[in-house]
Structures are given as C-alpha cells and as structure tokens.
Amino acid sequence: MAVKFSKHHGGWIIFATFAVAALFTVFPLPQWLESYRPEWVALVVIYWVMALPDRVGLFTAWIAGFFLDVLEGSLLGLNALALALVAYLALSLYQRMRMFTAIQQSSTILILVGIHQLLSFWVLTANNQNTAPNLIFMISALSSAVIWPFIFLGLRYLRRNFHVA
C-alpha cells in the first residue's frame, strides 16, 4: 500500500467518469431515440456530489458544464449554469439521498434532472433559441430517473474499487 500524503486520491476516476458521460452525451443516436437520451453528465455530477460532497461541488459541476457547452456547441454557460444548479440542489440533499431507497432516489433524480431541463429550456427561450415544439424534452428526465440505479451501482463500484476519496 503506497502511503499518500494527500487525503484525496482517485481524481482521475472522477475525471474519466465525466469524460465518458460527455462522450455518451454526443454519441450519435437514431432520431427516434434522441429525445430519450438521459442527461449523463447531470447524473454523474449528482453521484459524485452525493458520494464526495467535500470534493465535487458547484465548481466542478460548473467546469464540466462549460466543457459540455463547448462540446455541444450550445450557448456558452448554459450547461454550466444548469449543472451548477443541480450540484447546488444535490449538495443540500445529499445527506437525505444517501438514506433513500432506490425508488426514492430515482424520484429525486426525476425532479433534479427535470429542473435541469426546465432551466435549460427557459434560458433557450429567453435567448430565442428554443425550438422544442412541446414538453417532449422532459422525457429525458424520466429516462435519467430510470437509468439512475444502474449509474449509481456502477459508479459506486468504481469508487470502491479504485478507493476514490
């Protein structure tokens, strides 16, 4: 066992999960599946805030959102703002969320990602870029909630296996 002086380690795992989430976000999907794409980066932000609130917080979420904006070619700051808000809400909820059952966690995710989606679309509307014909974009909050238990288990496995702290 190597002795480390820093109390933090496994930072590259956190970075890698964000990178993979960003990759999934831009991965080409068939047209009909596109609306169901979960908000991968938001889920990863919520997980790390829940697991390591002292390490991953508003700032990390904001930086991740910034690069997501560049990646998607969207309005610079849009995802940054939405993800920072999600991280803020998750920071105030993490103690409760750790105690929740899977169903309760998923419902919380539904609300958090729902807020994320609404905020993004409010901003886009304010900027005259909102081209969604109806509330179909909220579907991705649902798919995020459905996929959350698997994300949670997968990321927890990574965190424990690689001793991310």
Partner 1 sequence: MLGLALLSMIMMLADSRFNYLDQVRFYASYLVTPLHWLADTPRSISDSVNNNLQSRSYLIGENQRLKEQLLTQQYRLQKLEHLEAENDRLNELLNASSIVDERGVLAQVTGESPDPFIKRVLINAGSTDGVYIGQPVLDAFGLLGQVVEVEPYSSWVLLITDPQHLTPVQVNRNGNRAIASGTQDSLHRLTLNNISDTFDIVTGDVLVTSGFGGRFPAGYPVGVVTSVLHDPGEPFATVSVEPTAQLDRSRNVLLVFRGDAE
Task: Write out the residues near partner 1 by the rule CB under 8 A.
Answer: 19, 22-23, 25-28, 31, 34-35, 37, 58-59, 62, 65-67, 70-78, 80-81, 84-85, 88, 123, 127-133, 136-137
Q: Which is nearer to partner 1, 3 or 28 (CB)?
A: 28
Amino acid letter, residue 77 = G
Residue 7: CB minimum distance to partner 1, A? 25
Give the angle 37-67-88 at the CA atoms, nearest 5°. 75
DSSP H or E segment with residue 68: helix 58-72
Q: Which is nearer to partner 1, 13 or 19 (CB)?
A: 19
Q: Which is nearer to partner 1, 70 or 165 (CB)?
A: 70
C-beta neighbour count of 123 within 10 angstroms? 18
CA 158, CA 40: separation in Å to the nearest integer?
A: 16
Residue 57: CB minimum distance to partner 1, A? 10
Nearest alpha carbon to residue 7 among 49, 57, 54: 54
Residue 163: CB minimum distance to partner 1, A? 27
Burial of 135 (C-beta count, 10 Å sphere; 0-12/13-18/19+): exposed
Residue 111: CB minimum distance to partner 1, A? 18
Q: Which is nearer to partner 1, 101 or 128 (CB)?
A: 128
